[in-house]
Homo-oligomer: A and B are copies of this chain.
Amino acid sequence: MPGQATTEVTLSPDSSGEKVPIPTLERLTTYLRSLVEMRATAIETVSSAEIERSTGINAAQFRKDLSYFGEFGKPGVGYSVTELENRISRILKIHELQPILLIGAGNLGAALVGYPGLEEHKFHIVAAFDNSPTKIGRRIGSGMEVLDFARLGEINAGVAARMAILAVPQNAAQSVADVAIAHGVRAILNFAPVLLRVPRHVIVRNVSFLQELAVLSYHLSESGGNGTSASGADKRNEENRK
């Protein structure tokens, strides 16, 4: 159970001294989304069984996930929607604006700047960079000017962002990451299909459309022309209506 070979942060993930599994963190956003919806519908209290119904995530899983961070509910009653929402936001550090640098202002970069969910969750793209003269000076999203990538250091000295989104071509990704890291970036969301080599204190998450499509493609061929069903894709996609 406790420490083994790995890096071991042991900064107390919150209450218990246990390391929080990544899948747990991923699910927290799902709970959050559900809670926001419930609040919008003026629902005040929610049980783990109701969370299961609305998110597809097992109720025991939900309770276990929360247990890494303390106690949140009242036995026999459930959870306060607003309180739980607040606490999860704090756990994920998205209760306050989180400044982010966007590097790469192509189609994908533009899509991200315009993505409505970001601001809603307090993720704030504070600057967009590109190194192409045809893009520098143009505006993407709702009026954000694309800056010369060469100015990243100068700009980040002011805004002090620790997160960056890399939406650059494969061959540029590593060198761009190096520069970003040199100027204080410590967490990278990488859209380029490359293994980024980074110092130990930097965290990288990769998003790969191709990977997702390939998994679908495989299952499509597996379940054959007939409908044998491929057991669970990702979530629990049972249920139908209509």
A234 near B204 with CB under 8 A, answer yes
Chain B residues, Cβ within 8 Å of A230: 7, 9, 203
Chain B residues, Cβ within 8 Å of A74: none
A77 within 8 A of B: no
Known: A182-B234, A204-B240. A217 touches B56 (CB 8 A): no
Chain B residues, Cβ within 8 Å of A25: 214-215, 218
A223 near B11 with CB under 8 A, answer yes
B235 near A203 with CB under 8 A, answer no
Known: A9-B222, A204-B237, A235-B199. A217 touches B111 (CB 8 A): no
Please state the number of chain copies in the assembly: 2
Known: A208-B29, A228-B201. A240 touches B187 (CB 8 A): no
Give the distance to chain B from A6, nearest Cβ to Cβ, in Å: 5
**Of A13, A28, A187, A217, which is in contact with the most chain B CB atoms at under 10 Å from its CB?**
A217
Cα of A219 to Cα of B162 in the assembled complex, Å: 11
Contact of A231 among B7, B218, B234, B239 (CB under 8 A): B7
B117 near A209 with CB under 8 A, answer yes
A94 near B198 with CB under 8 A, answer no
Cα of A155 to Cα of B218 in the assembled complex, Å: 24
B9 near A228 with CB under 8 A, answer yes
A240 near B199 with CB under 8 A, answer yes
Q: What 1/0 flags go to A205-234 for Cβ under 8 Å of B?
A: 111111111111111111110011111111
Cα of A6 to Cα of B65 in the assembled complex, Å: 23
12 sampled A-B residue pairs with Cβ under 8 A: A11-B228, A29-B214, A98-B217, A107-B111, A118-B210, A121-B214, A163-B220, A187-B219, A195-B235, A198-B239, A204-B233, A205-B234
